Structure 1
């Protein structure tokens, strides 16, 4: 009887004692502050350069700031500038960005300056990519290099985890996003110990990174869209439909990704690939207008300020153009991430749905559109839910998004991802 009861007793995961967790606090805080400051520094420098390139210079030349001619010139010039960095700067600004996701490789220190420079030029010049992937890669490389020298006895694998968590926390202004991403990663791995024991050091780094970015830069994702009150059946139906349409639309770009990447790859040289990408992006900007430029965070705020101010056709054009610009920029070699432009695509789609069907509340349309597009582009469920929810300051939106994510996830799961292997095949 004793043996039977012992065999039937549930296994208990041993907890990590506090004395084993305490030494990780100081390195995690240091990594978090470093990652937050580097992110804010790169973005601030890029914004200053953007003001010069898009405001000061065209004003001095007497050219329209966002005229078709100037957008075309700037995007081609950005392709040339980034191409020079990739060609001539030591390290060639890191690996092909089409092969890199949020889980960044550990790059040697010689690569990092060129990657920072290429990212800053891209952010200022207008291509439709965000800072997340290259900044995570830079912070991971710095953390491994500096951490290995400062604390040589620490396990080497801890530094990439801390840097990724800290950068994600700084990007979104909260450690919650990092905790969700890491929880999703841990769920797919065989890890020992309790979840919160494994999250302790990364969450500390994410908290330090997000607090640093918030104190220095005060990022905000709330679009201040109209309140919709308690959700109803109509809101649920709208969320399910818009999220599913967003997922299907973004999957079109995902399936086209290897073919567009291969087309630019045939040019074989960054001084041909990136300027050619700039030419295509210039043509797309002429179609979609200046709001389809850049990473898209400031631009979605401008769209959300007047949900009724544009017809459905204009929102539809911006949705398709921004998605195409994201596809081209990610394929031709620009260093950048895909989350922020995907948020613009989802926002424009949601506002298009509201313009077509007045019963679709703009808050529901935007959050559901962002959810569906991000699920297809990133294949990160928690990040997609989190970003879609924080755009709308409504507690009731979370339940709608959780339900809307289910059919959207069925559409994207098992499909190719918007990331390639070294041989050019898609990851599933």
Structure 2
């Protein structure tokens, strides 16, 4: 197959698809970042406030729920899959469904709900890739559409994670790619991701908006592993699945109410998420952004400024973030990766002063164990934790692996979580 003219043509098309998909992904991420800054920081000042008042997040996150629910309820498709069902790649959305995916994700991410951009980017990249095949060849077989759609997803997610290889690794594990077809499906995606990364750098040189990277600089050096740390790795691996199980259980328990009354209930959930952020800020004096949003931007400062956090403030942060994350999973549209990383990092910072433990290995184990428990992708979870910790990541790899494996296996022993079905929608699949 690799030597066939059709496959070579698919490689060329994948390279071409990487260009517009990377541009769209860059624009989407830049728009989300600009809206977050404008709505939560600049707009209150323009309206005459010295800073955003205490209640400011309430109408914004409530509006997030209202707009997201309208997209899911009235636009074609379901505006993407429900994040409470876990990390899923699935098939690419139809072209008519792309506006719903885009708008629901924009309303979710820019107005404060606790989800990340990775799932919408994968859906948008896949949808644009599939659309490109249909434009070039209207009678293209489903396998060709799926191949180029996957390449589009590769290009989109790689812009977010800052690495074509990390994006490819995530999608391979999530989609269960393997065997003889692994290289056949992987090569177009890698090519699209590589071309997309070059486009990303080029756009950054023109706009100066910055590129995206998971790596956190200026971490304290870490060089020595100890036996005690492996004991803590096992404890992280046993604790994280319980927290993840509670998070998903609450999200799925709320979904029947969401399905029954999509718009009012999702709006109320947005108000509840804002209320959690406000309560946390009033008790601790920290910003509401620690609870709101995906945690992608706040993750670095949480780790590098860990000395400014008390144990009580960190414990309250974990509780509020988990609750806000769970409510967001139940009704909004976005991805589960970055909130899982943030919660795992907060657990690590809180545990960093335990006997025989220090900040960098604690954060690595916390992120790895929490991601493995929430995403059910152990290989990607280990890689995410080590990439985040830059040069220290190579040293903590053994600890992260132990925490990830224990968390993944321990999670299989927990009771299965029911998945309530959504109500049937006229002319489409069940709404979730």
TM category (shorter chain) comes to 0.7 to 0.9
CA distance in 2 between counterparts of 1:46 and 1:179 reads 24
SS in 1 for 2:42: helix
1:107: which partner in 2? 93
Q: Distance in 1 between matches of 2:259 and 2:5?
A: 52
Query: What is the aligned partner in structure 2 of residue 226 from structure 1?
Result: 220
Task: From the superposition, tell whether residues 295 and 212 of structure 1 become closer, same or farther in structure 2 (CA, over 3 Å).
Answer: farther
Distance 1:390 1:213 in 2: 20
Q: CA deviation at 1:350?
A: 0.6
Match of 2:10 among 9, 17, 24: 24
CA RMSD of aligned residues (A): 2.7
Q: Matched residue of 1:202: which SS?
A: helix
Structure 1 SS opposite 2:115: coil
1:83 CA drift (Å):
3.2
Q: Which runs of structure 1 show a deviation greater than 6 angstroms over 4 or more consecutive aligned residues?
A: 416-419
Kept in 1: contact 2:18–2:193 (CA 8 A): yes
Structure 1 residues 20 and 159, CA gap change in structure 2 (3 angstroms): closer
2:377 aligned partner: 380
- Pick one of 142, 145, 152 that aligns with 2:131: 145
CA separation in 2, counterparts of 1:179 and 1:307?
A: 32
Structure 1: distance between partners of 2:83 and 2:107: 15
In structure 2, relative to structure 1, the CA distance for the partners of 1:243 and 1:226 (3 Å cut) is farther
Cα distance, 1:67 vs. partner?
4.0
In 2, Cα distance between the equivalents of 1:340 and 1:31?
A: 26
Q: Structure 1 40/335 Cα, relative in aligned 2: closer, same or farther at 3 Å?
A: same
Q: 1:230 to 1:385 in 2, by over 3 A?
A: same
Deviation at 1:188, TM superposition (A): 6.2
Partner residue in 2 for 1:296: 295
Please state how far the C-alpha of 1:256 moved relative to its aligned partner.
Answer: 2.5
Q: For residue 8 of structure 1, what is the aligned residue in structure 2?
A: none
Match status 1:319 vs 2:306:
no
- Distance in 1, matches of 2:322 and 2:301, equals 18
Tell me, yes or no, if the aligned pair for 2:345 and 2:366 is still in contact at 8 Å: yes
Distance in 2, Cα, partners of 1:186 & 1:88: 29
2:280–2:316: 8 Å Cα contact kept in structure 1?
A: yes
SS of corresponding position for 1:298: coil
2:336 maps to which residue? Answer: 338
Matches within 5 A, 1:278-289: 278-289=270-281
Q: Distance in 2 between matches of 1:262 and 1:381?
A: 30
**Comparing 59-68 and 173-182, the one that deviates more:** 59-68
Q: What whole-Å deviation, never above 9, does each CA across 1:159-216 have from its counterpart, x for those lacking one?
A: 2321222222222111222332344357566x535x4344222221222234433553
Aligned pair 1:369/2:361, yes or no? no
Number of equivalenced pairs: 404
Pairwise mapping of residues 110-129 of structure 1 onto structure 2 (< 5 A)?
A: 110-129=96-115
Query: What per-residue deviation string (whole Å, max 9, x for no partner) do you get for residues 274-313 of structure 1?
Result: 2111111122112333111111111111212212111111
Q: 2:234 aligns with which of 233, 240, 248?
A: 240
Quickly say closer, same or farther: Cα 1:407–1:93, change in 2 above 3 A. closer
1:403 corresponding residue in structure 2? 402
Q: How much has 1:338 moved relative to structure 2?
A: 1.0
Give the structure with higher Rg (CA).
1
CA displacement 1:70-125 (0-9 Å, x = unmatched): 12222112223333444454556355554573314332222212321221122211
Q: Is the 8 A contact 1:24 1:201 kept in 2?
A: yes
Partner of 2:161: 172
Q: 1:185 to 1:369 in 2, by over 3 A?
A: closer
The runs of 5 or more residues in structure 1 that have no matched partner are 1-14
Deviation by residue 1:115-155 (Cα, 9 ceiling, x = unmatched): 21221122211111111112211221221122222145462
Whole-Å separation in 2 of the counterparts to 1:84 and 1:197: 40
User: Please, which of 175, 178, 193 is the counterpart of residue 206 of structure 1?
Assistant: 193
- The structure-2 alpha-carbon separation of the partners of 1:23 and 1:84, relative to structure 1 and needing over 3 Å to count, comes to closer
Paired position in structure 2 for 1:76? 62
How far, CA to CA, are the matches of 2:80 and 2:172 in structure 1? 27
Gap change, CA 1:184 and 1:316, over 3 Å in 2: same
- Uncovered stretches (5+) of structure 2, i.e. residues with no partner: 205-209, 282-287, 424-432
Please state how far the C-alpha of 1:378 moved relative to its aligned partner.
0.8
TM normalised by structure 1 equals 0.85
* Alignment check: 8 A CA contact 1:28 1:205 kept: yes
Say whether residues 1:308 and 2:312 are aligned partners: no
